[in-house]
Chains A and B, each alone.
Chain A
Amino acid sequence: MHTLLSKTLSHPDGESTFRQLAEAIPQLVWTARPDGFHDYFNQRWYDYTGSNFDVTQGDGWRLPFHPEDVPEAQTRWQHSLRTGDTYEVEYRCRRHDGVYRWFLGRAQPVRDADGRIVKWFGTCTDIDEQKRVTDSLRFLTQADALLASSLDYETTLAALTRLAVPQLADWCSIDIQGEDGVVRLLAVAHVDPSKVKWAHELRKRYPPDPKDPHGLHEVIRTGRSSVLPDISDSLLVASCRDKEHLRIARELGLRSALTVPLTARGRTFGALALVTAESGRRFTPTDVVFAEQLASRAALAVDNARLYGNALRAEERFRSLVSASAQAVWVRRPDGLVEEDSPSWRAFTGQSYEDYRGHGWLSAIHPEDQERVRRGWEAARALKQPYEVEMRVRLPDGRYAVTLCRAVPLFNADGTPREWIGTTTDITAQRHAEESSRRLESEQRARQLESLRIKVSEVLSREEAPSRLLQDCAGAMVRSLPALALVQVWGWSREFRALVLEGTAGLTVPSSIQPTRLELGEGFAGTVGQTRQPLLVNDVLQHPGARAREWMRAQGLVSFVGTPLLVSGQLVGVLSVFGRSPLEEEALATLATVADAVAQGLERRRAELALQEHARELARSNEELQQFAYVASHDLQEPLRMVASYTQLLARRYQGKLDSDADEFIAYAVDGVNRMQRLIQDLLAYSRVGTRGHEFKPIDSGRALEKSLANLKALVDESEATLVQGKLPMVMADETQLIQLFQNLVGNALKFRGKTPPRVLVEAEREGNEWRFTVEDNGIGIEPQYYERIFVIFQRLHGKEEYPGTGIGLAICKKIVERHGGRIGLDSQPGQGTTFWFTLPAIPTPSPQGATS
């Protein structure tokens, strides 16, 4: 081409030959002098631009250029003139009817034999179709990326309208048919943002006629696109319902309209409307195909969201989306200012456009949230990243709704943000649902906690060693609260003045790093013990109190909660818990509750044990005393037997054979020995009550009384006593001791008789779970001040000559009764008689009356 041109143009007839050529080719052709002056355009150029030579020669070539594309073309042309480099530029060129089409402009210099430039030869090739295809592809890729992003589909659709303008149309709107069949305007975008409100106005006052054959409803009903390539003024007049309608329509400057269905999986649920105005473009079949492609992708994305997203929620959002009060869609400039009206925002908040524009939207946000929202928004702007924030937005009635706000940036071709598009969705209901599910969860947690408490209390009620109980508590906690990786219970040892590890469950801690004793202030548990305050640490590795960091890192432990175990302000231990994920304040509360149960239980158990230990000590010392009494009295008998036997042998052999003094001495010795023997035997009997008692068996107390009377036969006969025996029950008793009891009491009744022959009455009476026995006599009686004393061992009220005895009988009675779990006492009228009473547990049988077979 180059050489051909050079040859042609350097030929004498070259100029005309060239022009013939230039007129023949299908491109727009021009030539220019070396100084850049355009001196020729072919006829095609004039036909396309609708201008003439006078206008376009020299610098007039620029006139049909799109104003936005002139500077670039000028710069490049000047550069080529200076350097002789090939000139090449893409620009939009206005056709005679006002439609701009994309052209590729190229020019080459034609040089003479010396290489000087003699002419510039240029062509303009219509690349509009190609460029549109390329742009469409790029646009569709962009759209796909947007549609595939994790945004809500409503935001996506709103964003889609922004994408379509101005690449595809001057304004674009999306309508969605709700479940109720009502078609609602979801989003509008316009090259001239001030005109968006007209679009809404138009839609509000003159909703689309369902019967309009080119209208929205028809498209949604049939699923077929509708094109109005050229909207003439007469068509406007014909289709507008009144003057006002026409005024608004003219204001919008409609030139060409295209409506394509949003169809997915055979279901049409909305329409995408594209309108040209200012650009003067007319929609072509290519545009229809492209718009349909775009719409079907968008529809599929929406449908996928509806199908695969949480179906219910999508449905709900879908409904809330189409009811303007639950959702707002808005646009902000890259600097964060609002200039474009958003009717949905106005409806949502009740703000007027004046309230809302600029930074006014912030004032609809809860004061406590404003700063956070502003910061989030600034960060998102700086990073050019989508942002999402939860905030409370004031509704028209002054209440605040919890909303989720999401925004995405849309970019210019050079990567600078063009604007931000966002949605604000009322999630109050969702939050309520979440709260109630949280409440449910917390109720569940509370129940779980309660069952844990019960378990812990149950564990602590066992009669085991505290360390065993604390070990089981730790185990129960690990089982009930899966968030806990390691639970340790430390007990405060008064003895060591330190915390002692009593229980550990969950992870196995190597003994090399597990202290079993902690001073106060040492490690986490020591810190809790020292401060007596709960401690929550969610980055244990960074904490200065951390020990065995490497191990904790290896085990993935990140959190620690420690609670002091306190009982009325006194430290009894520390509950330590480690988790593999951060623990919340709630965990503290949970553990505090458990810790309380553990502390109380531990202290109770310790007190019980101390009491038991005390009781054991007491029993042991009692036992020892009894053993001592028994052994002493038993062993004393031996030498006593010797003394007694030999004094008696002396008396036997030498009575009356020595002098009277010797006889008297022997008599005293024998008497002393005899009394000592009785004392020792009584003492032995007394000590035997505890040490030599038999198992309790069902005993017929009547029989026991009879046996005791048989033992007392001599005394009964001698005192000429009358004995009356009432009906006596079966009781659980040691028979030998019961006989001894009756024997001592009846014996006393006979011994302490008055002037008249003794009369003794023995009876029993049921009182609840006991039998109350009475041994009533008509003897000398006892003064009330002595009631207590007479049951004390070796206590006597009378002289030995008057009433012989060791003073152990009643002490033995008391001991026997108490061993049987009963009580003993007396009522007496001195001179009238005495009634001794004692109680014995009844045998638990359905019939209260014991048999006396």
Chain B
Amino acid sequence: MSDDTRGRPIEILLVEDNPGDVRLTIEALKEGKVRNRLSVARDGVEALAFLRREGPHAEASRPDLILLDLNLPKKDGREVLAEIKEDSSLRRIPVVVLTTSKAEEDILRTYDLHANCYITKPVDLDQFISVVRSIDDFWLSVVRLPSAE
């Protein structure tokens, strides 16, 4: 696979309140192949405002991918996910849910919220990096990006 076959970098929205995790994600994405631009929302309310381009986010670009942490202040990841999937204009954006445990994943599945995939946050950096890579692979080989409006 060659480097970056597309002109436009992919827009990623990371919904994450933990700055350590934000930085780790940035670092991991640096090691990836895909050119990307990362926006960060610190909680669920901000994430939805960003997606709906409300208030300060009027100029926000529409993300190609959402990385969603479940444990968020104000509005937790489950609610955010539910709202995204109920909104016809946002429904098609792939959502990768980052969880801290297998158990959470189990619980989440019972909600049947149609997340596109679930990734357990590994403690091991190498694993995390390989997870982010797998997003790359997934991106390049599987997902046909819906055209941005």
Contact = CB atoms under 8 A, between A and B. Distances in A.
Given A634-B101, A637-B100, A646 B20 contact: yes
A720 to B, nearest CB: 28
A609 to B, nearest CB: 36
A787 B24 CA distance: 46
Interface in B50-73: none
Given A634-B101, A688-B103, A641 B123 contact: yes
Contact of B121 (A641, A673, A677): A641
B125 A645 contact: yes
B125 A649 contact: yes
Nearest to B19: A642
Contacts of B126: 648, 652
A642 B27 CA distance: 13
Contacts of B125: 644-646, 648-649, 652
Interface string B21-62: 100100100000000000000000000000000000000000
Contact of A645 (B24, B100, B101, B103): B24
Contact of B128 (A634, A645, A673): A645
A641 B100 CA distance: 10
Given A646-B20, A649-B24, A649-B27, A638 B100 contact: yes
Contacts of B101: 634, 637
Nearest to B31: A652
Nearest to B121: A641
Interface in A635-673: 637-638, 640-642, 644-646, 648-649, 652, 673
A462 interface: no
A829 to B, nearest CB: 39
Contacts of A652: 125-126
A642 B16 CA distance: 14
B103 A677 contact: no
Contact of A677 (B20, B27, B123, B128): B123
A451 to B, nearest CB: 53
B103 A648 contact: no
Main secondary structure on A side of the interface with B: helix
Contacts of A649: 24, 27, 125
Interface residues of A, number: 16
B112 interface: no
Given A642-B20, A649-B24, A692 B103 contact: yes
A649 B24 CA distance: 9
Contacts of A677: 123
A293 to B, nearest CB: 109
B104 to A, nearest CB: 9
B124 interface: yes
Interface in A668-690: 673, 677, 688
A637 B128 CA distance: 15
Most B C-beta atoms less than 10 A away, residue of A637, A641, A642, A652: A641
Given A645-B128, A646-B20, A649-B24, A640 B103 contact: no
A171 B18 CA distance: 133
Interface string B86-103: 000000000000001101
B123 A637 contact: yes
A641 B101 CA distance: 12
A642 B125 CA distance: 9
B98 to A, nearest CB: 11
Interface in A612-645: 634, 637-638, 640-642, 644-645
Nearest to B128: A645
A644 B124 contact: yes
Contacts of A646: 20, 24, 125
Contacts of B21: 642
A175 B129 CA distance: 133
Contacts of B121: 641
B88 to A, nearest CB: 35
Contacts of B27: 649
Interface in B98-132: 100-101, 103, 121-126, 128
A634 B123 contact: no
A680 B20 CA distance: 20
Nearest to A653: B27
A641 B103 CA distance: 17
B124 A634 contact: no
A524 to B, nearest CB: 62
Contacts of B124: 644-645, 648
Nearest to A650: B125
Contacts of B20: 642, 645-646
B123 A644 contact: yes
A640 B20 CA distance: 12
Nearest to B125: A648
Contacts of A640: 123
A476 B68 CA distance: 65
A651 to B, nearest CB: 8
B101 to A, nearest CB: 7
A642 B18 CA distance: 10
B51 to A, nearest CB: 26
A160 B52 CA distance: 125
A637 B104 CA distance: 14
Contacts of A641: 100, 121-123
Nearest to A647: B125
A136 to B, nearest CB: 114
A512 B145 CA distance: 81
Nearest to A676: B123
Given A637-B101, A646-B125, A688-B103, 16 more contacts: A634-B100, A634-B101, A637-B100, A637-B123, A638-B100, A641-B100, A641-B121, A641-B122, A641-B123, A642-B21, A644-B123, A644-B124, A645-B125, A645-B128, A648-B124, A649-B27
Interface of B: 18, 20-21, 24, 27, 100-101, 103, 121-126, 128
Counting from the closest, the 7 A-B pairs by CB-CB distance are A648-B125, A641-B123, A642-B20, A644-B123, A645-B125, A677-B123, A645-B24
16 contacts: A637-B100, A638-B18, A641-B100, A641-B121, A641-B122, A642-B18, A642-B21, A645-B124, A645-B125, A645-B128, A646-B125, A649-B24, A652-B125, A652-B126, A677-B123, A688-B103
